A and B are shown apart, each in its own frame.
Chain A
Amino acid sequence: MKRIFGVTLGILTAMGGFVDIGDLVANSETGARFGMSLAWAVLLGVVGIVVYAEMAGRVASVTKRATFDLVRERLGARAGLLNLGASFFITMLTLIAEVAGVALAVQLVVDVNYLLWIPLVGFAVWLVIWRVKFSTLETVFGLMGLAMIVVVVTVVQLDPSWSQLWHHASHPTVPSGEGHPTYFYYAIALFGAAMTPYEVFFFSSGAVEEKWTRRDLVLNRANVYLGFPLGGLLSLGLMAGAALVFHPLGVGVDNLSQVALPTSVALGKVGLAFVIVGFVACTFGAALETSLSCGYTVSQYFGWQWGKLVRPREASRFHLVVLMSIFVAVVVGVTAVDPIKVTEYSIVLSAAALPLTYFPILVVANDRTYMGDDVNGPVKNTIASFYMVLLVVVALATIPLMIATKAGS
């Protein structure tokens, strides 16, 4: 049984990256505005996160050390602190958005203003982290999130011209009426969402929580090769659904109920039910992923006891950080900030911080004194180095593009 459900860590991690509240909307929005012409950015991101999450999981399995532990050790106290500041800020922004996102998803079912749900959602997230075992949490939300596969069924049901979809995706052109800077701004947003740093914080810490060892390297690969491509597929499914339904009409997407519309057009009420379950599971899963990541990064930087393997009182500062993060998310959330805008900003900002997180992983994955024979092979190093260069380029381009395009508007 452990083996069957063993891949849910990868699935849950990927959902937090690819189909959390901001991405649910961003994927549909890009589909509506750009058709399939940005699909390549998702694929580029999938390969990148697969390569680096595999390394982070392998290092965690062999050495029992999660990613932020390596960040501190390899970058030192100063650069490590800079990365902690940036990563924590980004993760915190995402957490604010997810807590509000769960509330928005619930609002689709129960017609009570989402702001009223936010404190309850925050409490539920905290309670799950306080009381539920890591493997249970990962299995329940990973499997529930699979309801989102309905967006792929939606695309099939809409019976598109596959050759045309493929043509749009494989011969990307900037649609008329959209500028190049805006196009690349959205490309970075999609790429950044795929490679958002809290995925590796969560995945590597989860591997330690699950007590993976050198013997679990196959399980690590199964998680990575299944979870992240699945996340990418859902991302493309949302994009294609919106490209088919909204793009021809020239209608934009800016809220969650519009994201569900292609599915209810294609599959009716049953499809809608699935998609809403998927929304709740993915946003709640992302809220767990980000609030735990807040605790993981801070604790691992300072060397405090962390994790859910021990009783809460034995990892008191870790639990205090998680509790405070959720509290802040609720307080900021009820001021009615737009959660979708918040994640879009946080994704693009995170693109600027990516190299600082992925570089130490690459270094340690090549360190024989740590990894023994399980160091990177030449193929992996070639791909990883290509991505390192790409991440630096993206990091440098991000902020100027954000300013030039007024955040894609």
Chain B
Amino acid sequence: MSAATSGAGRRVWAVLELLDRQLVDRNGHLVGKIDDLEFEIDDDPGALPRVSALLSGLGALASHIGGDAGRALAATERRLAAARDRQPSRIDIALVQEIASSVELDAARDDIDTNRAERWTRDVIIDKIPGAGHVAE
């Protein structure tokens, strides 16, 4: 069932069924948690807000947590993230394939914005260690 494309829409409880859930890519790889939601509100009078994207990653998590811990996380994120953008990584709601105990995305993780830190760690650190590409024996 696609939450995004079905015309009638689907009713989902945001905090219970979306927030803090695991995101899984097309190949079954884990690609982060849903740390926050982005809503779009049309200018039409009476139009309902609709979820336009799932936000994931330290930036989104930091503002979700708030307080001192949130500020510490946000500071960490600013150190780690590329300086170019300050927006939390977003995943367009159109990519959502299924909402179950985890949320499945119709995309490979290398194409997902929230996967930058994983890629950076892989390219800069883990790939430098012999045996990184081998399955364990």
- B131-A305 in contact (CB<8A): no
The stretch of B1-9, B19-27, B37-45, B83-91 in contact with A is: B19-27
In the complex, residue of chain A having the shortest beta-carbon distance to the beta carbon of B32: A303
Q: Is residue B81 within 8 Å, beta carbon to beta carbon, of the partner chain?
A: no
Q: 0/1 per residue, A49-77, Cβ < 8 Å to B?
A: 00000000000000101000100110011
| Bound Cα distance A165, B57 (Å) | 57
Q: Is residue A312 within 8 Å, beta carbon to beta carbon, of the partner chain?
A: yes
- The majority secondary structure among interface residues of chain B is mixed
The stretch of A101-109, A128-136, A221-229, A379-387 in contact with B is: A128-136
B121 proximity list for chain A (CB < 8 A)? 316-317, 320
Q: Is residue A2 within 8 Å, beta carbon to beta carbon, of the partner chain?
A: no
A314 proximity list for chain B (CB < 8 A)? 29, 122
B48 proximity list for chain A (CB < 8 A)? none
Q: Is residue A80 within 8 Å, beta carbon to beta carbon, of the partner chain?
A: yes
Residue count of chain A within 8 Å CB distance of chain B: 35
Q: 0/1 per residue, A310-327, Cβ < 8 Å to B?
A: 111110110110000000
- A305-B20 in contact (CB<8A): no
Q: A303-B56, A314-B29 are in contact. Are A319 and B101 (CB under 8 A)?
A: no
Closest Cβ–Cβ distance, residue A363 to chain B (whole Å): 13
| Bound Cα distance A314, B32 (Å) | 14
A312 proximity list for chain B (CB < 8 A)? 126, 129, 131-134
- B135-A76 in contact (CB<8A): no
Closest Cβ–Cβ distance, residue A159 to chain B (whole Å): 47
Closest Cβ–Cβ distance, residue A409 to chain B (whole Å): 34
Excluding A77-B61, A303-B56, A311-B133, 11 further A-B contacts by CB distance (< 8 Å) are: A81-B65, A130-B129, A130-B131, A131-B134, A301-B33, A302-B32, A303-B23, A312-B132, A313-B127, A314-B29, A314-B122
